[in-house]
Amino acid sequence: MLRDERGTAMFCMQRAEGAEPFTNDDISEMERQAPHLRRAVQLHRVFAPMRRAAASFTEVLERLPVGVLLTDQAGRVWHRNSAAREIVVRNDGLSLSAGGVLSAGTPLANDRLARLV
């Protein structure tokens, strides 16, 4: 059991009905794993709020009536909302490479797009 100001986490070992009692080896194994489980809970508590914030952000993007593509500095798309997916599927000027890089239909347009990104 782990408890701090943010809450309590409890890990339980359970046996099927009729199984033998836990052995000293079983208990030793759980004691060996306990620090790793504790660290996993700590990391979850750090990352869970960030995941929720990211999910909220992408949910807002999904509600927009326009296409939105989020890219890294190299132009690789790491998120696109459903409107953007529809635009790319139409294949009428914008496309995604196998590596997820956004490109335009002509060299001139591609250069302009690269500058924008």
Q: Examine the domain organization and report whether 12 and 56 are in the same domain.
A: yes
pLDDT of the residue at 78: 87
Q: Examine the domain organization and report whether 74 and 112 are in the same domain.
A: yes
Which residue is associated with the tokens 């009729």? Answer: 18
Q: Examine the domain organization and report whether 10 and 28 are in the same domain.
A: yes
Place 82 in a pLDDT band, splitting at 50, 70 and 90: very high
The mean per-residue pLDDT over the stretch 3-20 comes to 81
Of 44 and 13, the one with more pLDDT = 44
DSSP code of residue 10:
-
Phi, psi (rounded to 5 degrees) for 22: -60, 140
Task: Please provide the average confidence, as pLDDT, over all residues in the chain.
Answer: 87
The angle at the Cα of 77, spanning 76 to 82, to the nearest 5 degrees, equals: 165
Q: Examine the domain organization and report whether 30 and 75 are in the same domain.
A: no
Span 20-65, pLDDT tens digits: 888 999 889 988 998 898 898 889 888 999 999 999 999 999 999 9
- Structural domains counted in the chain: 2
The reported pTM is 0.55
Asked if the model's pLDDT at residue 1 lies above 80, the reply is: no
Residue type, 104: A
Q: Examine the domain organization and report whether 35 and 80 are in the same domain.
A: no
Percent of the chain with pLDDT over 70: 100
Place 8 in a pLDDT band, splitting at 50, 70 and 90: confident
Cβ neighbors of 52 (< 8 A, separation 6 or more) are none
Round to whole Å and give the CA distance between 86 and 94: 11
Q: Examine the domain organization and report whether 52 and 84 are in the same domain.
A: no
Question: Where in the sequence is the domain holding 32, given as residue range(s)?
Answer: 2-63
Q: Examine the domain organization and report whether 6 and 55 are in the same domain.
A: yes
E-strand ranges in the chain read 2-4, 7-9, 69-71, 77-80, 94-96, 102-104
Round to whole Å and give the CA distance between 9 and 54: 24
Q: Examine the domain organization and report whether 85 and 112 are in the same domain.
A: yes
